[in-house]
Amino acid sequence: MWTKCPKCGEVLYRRDLAANLFVCTRCDYHFRMKAYDRIASIVDGEFTELGADVLPGDPLDWSDRRSYPAKLKSDRERSGLSESVVCGLGSLGGRRIALGVMDFHFRGGTMGQVTGERITLLLEEARREHVPCIIFAASGGARMEEGMLALMQLAKTTAAVSRFMAEGNFYVVVLTDPTSGGVSASFAFQADVIVAESKAMIGFAGRRVIEQTIRQRLPDQFQTAEFLLEKGAIDMVVERADLKGTLVRLLEYAAHE
């Protein structure tokens, strides 16, 4: 029923929070959105999922404190998702789009084989239909429990992005909190236009890794969307409330008609 804002401590009624796109009504804190909430906030109406029947396996037979299948099962129960990305086709501002949305609540948004496979299926379908592709990134990087097969998804998605873009198709990525590692270093930073949600943390290396390497605390604004904009790494920083409108406007420039 109620959710407490982790930034200002305000207790928020969940329905109000949802109506405000999961942005704190008091301090403007942007909560990490669930994939289906995000999709609902972006597409006009219907959304046809793609690759939903492709589910993660356990290629490395991984088990540390818990087995990998057990980790997947609890993430699945907690997030209501079967993988860290939901992909599909819908329309935005009356135009058909291919849309992929990553969700940090499933394994920290890490990219496993199925994440890479679904994104590749999405880009291949967008290429076939010659429609723009929008991907919302949120990821801690490649997934450790799938080892090198996870890392290879950087190569696979890159190849799919390259093919898609080579044919005059428009590719937009929205970086959301947080995006780092193998996802930021592959399909996320290959987009034609890179939008970032306000205050999102975005980088290659995680904050902790950098702090351990240089043995000092980083300033708070380091790796924020605003910092990346200033450094010239992204095109724009947008508040969540303005995101849909911004995407609609961008798509109009790539209308081709």
Partner 1 sequence: MSNNLIVERERSLVELERRIAELREASAAQPLDMSSEIAALEEKYQLILRELFGTLSPWEKVHMARHPNRPTSLDYIARFDRFDELHGDRHFRDDPSIVGGLGTLRARNVMILGQQRGRDTKENLHRNFGMPAPEGYRKATRLARLASRLQLPIVTFVDTKGADPGISSEEHAQSEAIAMCLQAFSTATVPIVATIVGEGGSGGALALAIADFVIMLEHSTYSVASPEGCAAILWSDASKAEEAAAHLKLTADDLYRFGIVDQILPEPLGGAHRNARDVVTRTLDAVEAALSPLAALTPEMLLDHRYRKYRRLGEWQAEGLEPVRTAR
Among 130, 155, 221, 236, binds partner 1 (CB under 8 A): 155
The nearer residue to partner 1, 165 or 241, going by C-beta atoms, is: 165
**Residue 48 within binding range of partner 1, rule CB under 8 A:** no
Which of 53, 77, 220, 257 lies at the binding interface for partner 1 (CB under 8 A)? 53
116 binds partner 1 (CB under 8 A): yes
Contact 16, 22 (CB under 8 A): no
Cβ(197)–Cβ(225) below 8 Å: yes
156 binding partner 1? (CB under 8 A): yes
Under rule CB under 8 A, residue 76 binds partner 1: no
State yes or no: residue 54 binds partner 1 (CB under 8 A): yes
Q: Is 6 in the site for partner 1 (CB under 8 A)?
A: no
Stretch in the footprint of partner 1 (CB under 8 A) among 11-19, 26-34, 38-46, 58-66: 58-66
Which residues within the stretch 118-137 sit at the binding site for partner 1 (CB under 8 A)?
A: 120
- For residue 245, which amino acid is it? G
Q: Is 140 in the site for partner 1 (CB under 8 A)?
A: yes
Does 158 bind partner 1 (CB under 8 A)? Our answer is yes
| Cα–Cα distance, 97 to 179 (Å, whole number) | 22
Least separation in angstroms between residue 173's CB and partner 1 is: 10
Which residues contact residue 58 at a Cβ distance below 8 angstroms, ignoring those fewer than 6 apart?
Answer: 67, 68, 69, 72, 145
DSSP string over 61-119 = --BSSSBHHHHHHHHHHHHS-SSSEEEEEEEETTEEEEEEEE-TTTGGG-B-HHHHHHH
Which DSSP symbol is given to 201?
B
Length of the chain counted residue by residue: 257
Residues 174-203 that bind partner 1 (CB under 8 A): 180-182, 184-190, 202-203
Is there binding between residue 95 and partner 1 (CB under 8 A)? no
- The single-letter DSSP state of residue 123 is H
Is 93 an interacting residue with respect to partner 1 (CB under 8 A)?
Answer: no
Does residue number 228 form part of the binding site for partner 1 (CB under 8 A)?
A: yes
100 in contact with partner 1 (CB under 8 A): no
96: which residues sit within 8 A by CB, 6+ positions away? Answer: 89, 90, 129, 131
Residues 107 and 96 sit within 8 Å (Cβ to Cβ): no
- Give the pairing of strands 47-50 and 2-4: unpaired
Using CB under 8 A as the binding rule, whether residue 255 contacts partner 1 is answered as no
- Binding-residue total with partner 1 (CB under 8 A): 67
Q: Which chain residues interact with partner 1 by CB under 8 A?
A: 53-60, 62, 64-65, 113-114, 116-117, 120, 140-144, 146-156, 158-163, 166, 180-182, 184-190, 202-206, 208-210, 212-214, 218, 222-223, 228, 231-233
